[in-house]
Amino acid sequence: MSNSKEWLQFINDWKIKTNKRENIEFYDHKFLFDILKDESKIIVVKKCVQAGVSFTFELKAIKKGIENAINVIYVLPSMKDARDFVVSKFDPVMENSNLKQMVRKTELSRTNVWSSALKKIGDSYFFFRGAQSETSAQSIDADMVINDEYDFQPATSRKMFQERLEGSGSKGINYCIGYPIIKNGGIAEMFNESDAKEWFITCPHCKKRQILTWPNNIDIENKNYICSECKGVLSDNDRRNGIWIGTKRTNSGISGYHISKMMLPWVTAESLIKKFKNDAPKHFFNYSLGLEYESSNKTITKEEFEAVQISQLKVGRYKGEHSYRVIGIDQGNRFHYCEGYVSPHGALATNITVFDDEKDLKNAIRNFKPDKLVIDMSPNRWSAIQIQDEIGRDIVYLANIRLWALDKIAKSNIKYFELKRESGIINIERTESIDELFNALKKKELLLLKGIPTLEDVYIHLTNMVPVNELRQGIPRKVYKRAGSDDYGFALNLFSVAAKLLIPDPNEYLKDLSSKKQENIPVGLEKAIEKMLIGYEDNVVLIKPKK
């Protein structure tokens, strides 16, 4: 670790304040000072909200950038997030201190390099990027990459930015910060690979050293923090004066920290109890305790998700004579896209990706030549209509996804969607369709091609579709809440609906096929065809000539 005096001198010499023009103090933020001094090349912080962690890493980056000529890439989930961070947090720190003296021009420029995406500070360049666009990671060699809000960044983009550290002269510094959205993935997985430091405090009554945990260190009735051992009351000062201790032995070289609101001296037990009562369990664990949360009614487990992935060698049975090409598209700020096949053996998604540009999306559709496509009609109805007009109303249906009235669900001939061919619209019941999606995955009626680059993100998005019971017009109803990004989940949902439009019931479809078998087909040929339909890919069929 670097010297405490060195850091205090740096802050004092440059007269650095917070983005709100407040003096920097470590009395209530003692837990951050050790992170500030930590010189490990890879640091991961699994954290709650509003703890001052992003500001800590901002200071680390600025100090290193002034002392050395380096390239720093600060990555947030979207370019809008990056711009907001620069305008509200980074720029004020620079502008309200003597650090502004270090803003530089390039040798060929007459003006300072100072935009929301690129800054030159001393001899160092600071790039601010959104992870949603993978191209923003290209052509920049980095010495330091800071991944902020780690779990909200697509895994493929995170990897691409981290690969910018692989240059021969790179200092290879990677700081990862975030709320843990998913168990055994993202920031939680990275923390588990680290030395997993926890903030240990000592009870003044029984001298027991302990980590503050929920609910063991909370007296809910009297609204106090208490010792988990002797139940003595813990003061703010007891929580303030802790020490970081690693809880794992590892050779990974990753320095890990876990920050919970229970550590923060300004967060009262009463306010934490109120959040526990008012917030959804996942939200409370993720954002207040800095812990991953796994509901007992979890939609799909990691094991179940891995079980639906098949190798390229088994794709043949889904692309045979009686198969169709289908696409599902969820639109928002971007287009989340899922393409694949449906056959009497089930549905198989072979490509799941995202497009920023509508032109790229249309090119993908044209190249795949779908038999059926279902696209979310919101928020940009005009884009969906254009695609429908270009590809054809007999192929493209606009999805109107809503919660139906309970009596409509009971009366519907088709469980969760109704097709309006004349208008080119398909009405989809939101909860029922998501239920059907997870049922199809668990029954392996919907499979995924192994090796799709986005599969890690697909799993995260599926687990972010969390079932809860809510009162709607006085009636308890099951609905799916959004615990994080879920766009790939809805793209897969619309893909599944498109597949059902073509083959609603595979068993009935197979019966219908068998009843239409042609007569006088040579036995050898018939057996060969049957083998091909279940996945065998023999290219040679031997048929004995008639005598």
Residues 472-491, buried b or exposed e (16+ Cβ, 10 A)?
eeeeeeeebeebbbbbbbbb
* Euclidean distance between CA atoms 37 and 175, whole angstroms: 13
Q: What is the pLDDT of residue 541?
A: 57
Closest by CA to 2, choosing from 34, 48, 46, 45, is: 34
Which parts of the chain register pLDDT below 50?
A: 412, 533-534
List the beta bridge partners of residue 517.
none
CATH code of the domain made up of 50-178 = 3.40.50.300
- What b/e sequence results for 300-324 when a residue is b if at least 16 CB atoms lie within 10 Å of its CB, and e otherwise? beeebbeebebeeeebebbebeebb
- The predicted structure's pLDDT at residue 540: 57
Relative to beta strand 144-147, strand 71-76 is parallel
The pLDDT, as a whole number, for residue 389 is 95
Q: Which has the closest alpha carbon to 406: 318, 502, 475, 483? A: 475
Burial label for 542, CB within 10 Å (0-12, 13-18, 19+), is exposed
- CATH assignment of 302-502, among 3.40.800.10, 3.30.420.240, 3.40.640.10, 3.20.20.70: 3.30.420.240
Residue boundaries of the structural domains of the chain: 50-178, 193-294, 302-502
12 CB neighbour count, 10 Å cutoff:
10
- What local confidence, expressed as pLDDT, does residue 296 receive? 57
- Residue 469 has a pLDDT of 75
| DSSP 3-state of 337 | strand
pTM metric for this prediction: 0.69
